[in-house]
Amino acid sequence: MLYGQYRADRQKLDCTLKQIKMDIYKDIKRYLHYLLYATKSQLKTEVANSYLNWFWWILEPLMDMVVYTVVFGWFFKSQIECFPAFVFIGITIWGFFSKSLNQSTKLIKNNAAIVSKDRKSTRLNSSHALTS
């Protein structure tokens, strides 16, 4: 009896998750033009205050890579092959994750009134935060 109930609940949950995924894809497809425009304007705003503009996005992880390579590669004698590339990829992925999480959290916090009323705008704004 318990297994049957568990299985039925699991099927309902799977159907609900599939529906949520489809809703997210539909929203992104429907508002793709807005999403691209908002992302592009956010990126332009971000580099407007920098002297190095777009070059800074490459220079910052490269400089971090140099520091980590010197400290961990030479001083601590790291045995990992292609250690600088490993560090660069790790820094880049961590930077994307960290920035996306921080921007999504700030976006939801700053737009609490909108988020509590409309679920679609939450999904769309979170997608925008991830792409910029």
The DSSP string of 37-95 is HHHHHHHHHHHHT-SSTTHHHHHHHHHHHHHHIIIIIIIS----TTHHHHHHHHHHHHH
- pLDDT 10s digits, 12-32: 666 777 777 788 788 888 888
- pLDDT 10s digits, 111-120: 777 666 665 5
Residue 18 has, within 13 A of its CA and on its CB side, a CA count of 6
d(CA 36, CA 85) in angstroms, rounded, equals: 30
pTM of the model: 0.58
Which tokens in the block code for residue 31?
């508002």
Q: In which residue are the tokens 């009323």 written?
A: 117
